[in-house]
Amino acid sequence: MKGSQVSDQHPAGASFAGPVVPGFHPDPSVCRVGDDYYLACSSFEYFPGIPLFHSRDLVHWTRIGNALDRPEQLRLPTSMPSSGGIYAPTLRHHDGRFWLIVTNCSEGGGNLLVTATDPAGPWSDPTWLPDVPGIDPDLAWDEDGTCWCTVAGVSQVALDPYTGRTLGEPRRLWSGGPGAKAPEAPHLYRIGDYWYLLIAEGGTERGHGISIARGLSPNGPFEPCPANPILTHRGTDHPVQNTGHGDLVQAPDGSWWMVFLGARPHGGTPGWHVLGRETFLAPVTWEDGWPVVGDILAPGDDGPGDPYHDDFDLTELHASWISVRDRSAEHCTTKERPGSLTLRARGTSLDEPDAVFIGRRQQHHACQARASVDPAQGCGGLAVRLDEQHHYDIEADGTEVRVVSRVGSVRAVVATLPVPAGPVVLGVRITEPPERYDPRTGPDLVSLGVERPDGTFAPLATLDGRYLSTEVAGGFTGRVIGLYAAQGVVHFDWFGYEQLTA
Ligand code: 6LW
């Protein structure tokens, strides 16, 4: 993708626009079984962990579940900072089952492996891999049936995937260009006569890229591709930046494709990305036995996203809902008041690591979210969250509605409105800033307000979106919009999210 190659063909023959999985869905790993593709992404401090998607054409992805959706599989303690937790899965199909290897970067965590016969679940309890060093584990099986686990760094060790025991000592492999930052995200493939070692390098920020090397054995030695990096947007004005951390897949027609992460900075300089790192797709061709990555099309398009209206009529929550660190029935249930979601606070605000919050990823640059909130005897509402130190909230407590801004160490109530007791419809509208020359313009504007009885939106405050961006907050995630309880018990009759089009 360093050149100007453009392809508008995907396996189904239609044109496509990226991202293929919009919103905070980084570190994609993909595998194909017959005509079906499956994709997994990182999930960090959110529970359930590792969103899974299915596609028939690599372009249109349907969410089918989460690999780690039981507390026995995923514990994310409050000692774990946001952007800790679940990093960089590898999803493979081998020997009649799906294998998913991943790192839980939190106390009591480490590398783990889960398996399933149906990727929609259930997934097994974890097999822990105490002797696998480092993050971003990959799995590949050679012709003898030996399973090789390759991790960031880059190093490799043979693994018995049934017991989790390593066989022998880890060995250092090719680690990218001389002096390159953060050689990570390795994936090892047998393609034709060669073993290919694909890695990300340059760090997951603007310098990100993907390089490849090949050798005759899965253990090397590896010869680097003379055209490395085979994918990077560093130093370009491409609207998709930070491109890296990819995985290759071959379509049934023999064509090759790469999924990878990218970010879409908006606003003036230095640019702020607010949707996290998203999943993109590009065609791959081969020249002299090396992969050449083509360009993504129409990268300004937001893509479809998930359906987003929930009346909370079902006893189970849709797989796109994610909670911070854990979700217990005591604190989050649709069974207490049928047709409503009930959140029971732990007596803390969204500033705390044990906040009771349930949200869905923001997947479009211009969008709105609304919710009917009945604070009952409590206090809660609607929030746009990046982490504990970066969120904008609108909440109701039965006497007033207030807008809270938490940015870094500063927490402020920026607007209040007296309201009668009972349910109130709260809303968030996220829009592009007005066009005028100012290189300091932020990425977007976040308006928080109430819905009047006639259905119109009355903003109480409009805040600069840059403070809820990765460039300001740091970390690996993106915005999540959702519902929370800060005190007592709060009921939500419905939640809706939609893209705003001009
Ligand atoms: C992940 C690493 C990376 O482990 O960021 O972009 C880290 N690549 O490979 C967290 O997503």
Give CB contacts under 8 A, 24+ apart, made by 233-236: 233/1, 233/262, 234/202, 234/206, 234/207, 234/208, 234/209
Task: Give the confidence band of 302 by pLDDT, cuts at 50, 70, 90.
Answer: low
H or E element in which residue 188 lies: strand 184-191
Q: How far is the CA of 229 from the centre of ligand 1 (A)?
A: 17
Query: Tell me, what's the pLDDT at 376?
Result: 87
Cβ of 476 closer than 6 Å to ligand 1, yes or no, is yes
| Single-letter amino acid code for the residue at 411 | R
pLDDT of residue 435: 87
Cα distance between residue 165 and residue 52, in whole Å: 26
> How many angstroms does the Cα of residue 59 sit away from the middle of ligand 1?
23
204 lines ligand 1 (CB under 6 A): yes
Which one of 136, 259, 273, 477 would you pick to mutate in the ligand 1 pocket, going by the greatest count of ligand atoms within 8 A of its CB? 136
Radius of gyration of the chain (CA): 23
What distances in angstroms separate CA 70 from CA 4, 74, 98, 140, one per listed residue?
Answer: 45, 6, 18, 27
Distance, CA 106 to ligand 1 centroid (Å)?
Answer: 15
**CB within 8 A of 470, min separation 6: which ones?**
263, 272, 273, 274, 276, 277, 386, 476, 477, 478
Check residues 477 and 301 and name the one with the higher pLDDT. Answer: 477
Quick check: 386 pLDDT over 70?
yes
- Distance, in Å, from the CA atom of 341 to the CA atom of 337, rounded to the nearest integer, reads 7
> Quick one: average pLDDT of 368-381?
96
Which alpha helices (DSSP H) does 363-475 contain, by range? 470-473
pLDDT of 35 strictly over 90: yes
Distances (CA, A) of 42 to 26, 98, 219, 278, 479: 6, 17, 27, 11, 14
State pLDDT tens for residues 112-164.
999 999 999 999 999 999 999 999 999 999 999 999 999 999 999 999 999 99
Going by CA atoms, what residue is nearest to atom 3 of ligand 1? Answer: 204
Residue 185 Cβ < 6 Å to ligand 1: yes
C-alpha dihedral, 88 to 499 to 258 to 91, nearest 10° = 40
pLDDT at 2 over 60: no
* Nearest ligand 1 atom, CA 26: 11
pLDDT, average across residues 393-413:
98
Atom of ligand 1 nearest to the CA of 42: 11
For 305-317, what is the mean pLDDT? Answer: 85
Q: For ligand 1, atom 9, which residue shows the shortest CA distance?
A: 185
- Tell me the pLDDT tens digit for each residue of 227-267: 999 999 999 988 899 999 999 999 999 999 999 999 999 99
CA 360 to ligand 1 centroid distance, Å = 21
For residue 104, the CA-to-ligand 1 centroid distance in Å is: 12
26 lines ligand 1 (CB under 6 A): yes
Start-to-end CA span in the chain (Å):
31
Q: Is the CB of 84 inside a 6 Å radius of any atom of ligand 1?
A: no
* pLDDT at 305 (0 to 100): 55
Q: Name residues whose C-beta falls within 8 Å of residue 307's C-beta, 6 or more positions apart in sequence.
A: none
Q: Ligand 1 centre and the CA of 28: distance in Å?
A: 10
Q: Is 88 in the pocket of ligand 1 (CB under 6 A)?
A: yes
Kindly report the backbone phi and psi dihedral angles of residue 117, in degrees, each rounded to the nearest multiple of 5, phi listed first. -90, -30
SS3 content of the chain, % helix, strand, coil (to 5): 0, 50, 50
| Average pLDDT for 189-218 | 98
CA distance linking residue 33 with residue 28, whole number of Å: 17
Q: How far is the CA of 38 from the centre of ligand 1 (A)?
A: 20
Cα 263 to middle of ligand 1, angstroms: 13
Write down the catalytic residue from 45, 184, 278, 295.
184
Q: 27 CB less than 6 Å from ligand 1?
A: yes
Does the CB atom of residue 191 touch ligand 1 within 6 A?
Answer: no
pLDDT for 269: 95
Strands of 422-488, DSSP E: 424-431, 445-451, 457-464, 480-487
Atom 6 of ligand 1: nearest residue by CA position: 204
186 and 154 in contact (C-beta within 8 Å)?
yes
**Stretch among 95-99, 270-274, 285-289, 374-378 having the lowest mean pLDDT:** 374-378
Which amino acid residue places its CA nearest to atom 5 of ligand 1? 204
Selected residue with higher pLDDT from 435 and 25: 25
200 lines ligand 1 (CB under 6 A): yes
The whole-number pLDDT of residue 347 equals: 75
Active site (annotated) includes residue 184:
yes
Residue 42 has pLDDT above 80, yes or no: yes
pLDDT at 16 over 50: no
Domains and CATH numbers, the chain: 29-227 (2.115.10.20), 308-499 (2.60.120.200)
What atom of ligand 1 comes closest to residue 83's alpha carbon?
10
What's residue 306's pLDDT?
A: 63
For residue 245 and ligand 1, the question of a CB distance below 6 A is answered with yes
Phi/psi at 470 (5° precision): -65, -35
Q: Which candidate, 489, 483, 484, 486, places its Cα nearest to that of 377?
A: 489
Average pLDDT for the chain = 93
* Residue 7 pLDDT exceeds 50: no
C-beta 135 within 6 A of ligand 1: yes
Q: Tell me the two tokens of residue 386.
A: 């990046």
Task: Output the pLDDT for position 297.
Answer: 60
Query: Do 371 and 308 contact (CB within 8 A), yes or no?
Result: no
Is residue 369 scored above 60 in pLDDT?
A: yes
- State pTM to two decimals: 0.94
Neighbouring C-alpha atoms within 13 Å toward the C-beta of 419: 24
CA–CA gap between residue 353 and residue 267 (Å, rounded) = 30
| Cβ neighbourhood burial of 445 (10 Å; 0-12, 13-18, 19+) | middle
pLDDT digits (tens, 9 = 90+) for 159-184: 999 999 999 999 999 999 988 999 99
Kindly give the distance from the C-alpha atom of residue 27 to the centroid of ligand 1, in angstroms, as a whole number: 6
Cβ(211) to ligand 1 under 6 A? no
Considering only CA atoms, which of 266, 256, 193, 261 is closest in space to residue 223?
Answer: 193
